[in-house]
């Protein structure tokens, strides 16, 4: 399928590379393709500069948020939570209308220092904000509860014996996302319900962040035993 992955941090390239490896036609979206390709400094957490990553994935296009979304059947939001609404506004409501919009972002708020808190939280979620702002997009929250490498290679943690959640109003969109998740190797895919259930998935982040500190690694995931 034609998939736009909006985001050039750690998650965007990780998901884009995995999708391309599965045979999808992938374009990465960014605010300014030229500036992004000119970045030479390391990414967050020592990730390779974007251009270096792209040199090894030259089949993946790099475009503005709008151009990437315009040509896609599915759009993945892998942008910074604080910038997601701006990024999707730049992508353009018309380019998102009717499309599955996979939201993997977390609304982390670093304004009070570390560890970050969430904004919005509890009675709202970033996924709901996105669905309200783009009512014609079919938003599905997923994958935000694990680190990027685990998103696309679940077998790398406990042989893949762990869980991933989906939240969204559109049943067909959740089926499409479930199919994508199975392509990555996820087996325990739990449909939490409508888009308001994304509050729960986003509110796992405070626990995830403390586990990261306690375990000294982000390479873990949650298993819902039942
Ligand atoms: P990030 O640094 O959080 O986000 C980078 C992306 O956000 C870039 O594409 C950047 O655009 C865009 N961006 C930042 N501010 C923006 C603004 N004001 N307007 C428009 N776009 C803006 O990268 P990340 O670590 O890959 O995380 C991406 C998302 O996934 C985040 O929401 C994060 O919370 C979530 N998440 C991350 C992980 C992980 O393992 N890192 C795991 C689960 C969920 P440019 O391309 O133009 O620079």
The tens digit of pLDDT for each residue in 101-145 reads 999 999 999 999 999 999 999 999 999 999 999 999 999 999 999
CATH number of domain containing 125: 3.40.50.720
For 13-51, the pLDDT digits (tens) are 999 999 999 999 999 999 999 999 999 887 776 778 999
Q: What is the position in ligand 1's atom list of the atom closest to the CA of 143? A: 43
Instruction: Specify the pTM.
Output: 0.98
Residue 135 lies in a domain: yes
| Mutate which of 6, 7, 204, 220 for ligand 1 pocket (most atoms within 8 A of beta carbon) | 7
Q: Is 110 a member of any domain?
A: yes
In a domain, 145, yes or no: yes
147 in contact with ligand 1, CB cutoff 6 A: yes
Residue 226 domain-assigned?
no
Residue 224 lies in a domain: no
What does the pLDDT read at residue 196?
99
Number of domains in the chain: 1
Q: Is residue 225 part of a domain?
A: no
| Reported confidence tier of residue 71, pLDDT bands at 50, 70, 90 | very high
In a domain, 221, yes or no: no
- When pLDDT is averaged across residues 54-65 and rounded to a whole number, the result is 97
| Phi, psi dihedral angles at 76 (to 5 degrees) | -110, 125
Residue 3 in contact with ligand 1 by CB distance below 6 A: no
Residue nearest to atom 17 of ligand 1 (CA): 83
Strands (E), 55-145: 61-64, 74-77, 100-103, 108-109, 117-118, 138-142
103 falls within a domain: yes
Structural domain for 119, as ranges: 2-215
In this structure, is the dihedral angle defined by the CA atoms of residues 72, 204, 85 and 43, taken in order, positive or negative? negative
Contact 104 CB / ligand 1 (< 6 Å): yes
């Amino acid at each position: 399928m034609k998939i736009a992955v909006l985001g050039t941090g750690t998650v965007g390239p990780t998901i884009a590379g995995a999708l391309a490896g599965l045979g999808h036609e992938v374009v990465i979206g960014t605010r300014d393709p030229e500036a992004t390709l000119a970045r030479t400094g390391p990414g967050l957490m020592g990730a390779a500069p974007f251009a270096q990553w792209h040199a090894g994935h030259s089949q993946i296009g790099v475009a503005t948020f709008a151009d990437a979304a315009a040509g896609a059947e599915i759009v993945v939001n892998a942008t910074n939570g604080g910038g997601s609404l701006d990024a999707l506004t730049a992508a353009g409501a018309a380019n998102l209308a009717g499309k599955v919009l996979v939201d993997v972002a977390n609304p982390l708020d670093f304004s009070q220092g570390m560890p970050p808190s969430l904004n919005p939280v509890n009675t709202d979620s970033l996924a709901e904000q996105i669905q309200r702002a783009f009512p014609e997009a079919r938003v599905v929250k997923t994958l935000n509860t694990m680190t990027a490498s685990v998103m696309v290679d679940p077998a790398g943690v406990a042989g893949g014996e762990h869980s991933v959640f989906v939240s969204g109003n559109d049943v067909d969109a959740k089926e499409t996302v479930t199919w994508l998740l199975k392509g990555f190797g996820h087996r325990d895919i739990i449909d939490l319900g409508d888009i308001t259930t994304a509050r729960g998935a986003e509110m796992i982040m405070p626990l995830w962040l403390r586990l990261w500190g306690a375990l000294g690694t982000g390479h873990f995931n949650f298993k819902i035993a039942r």
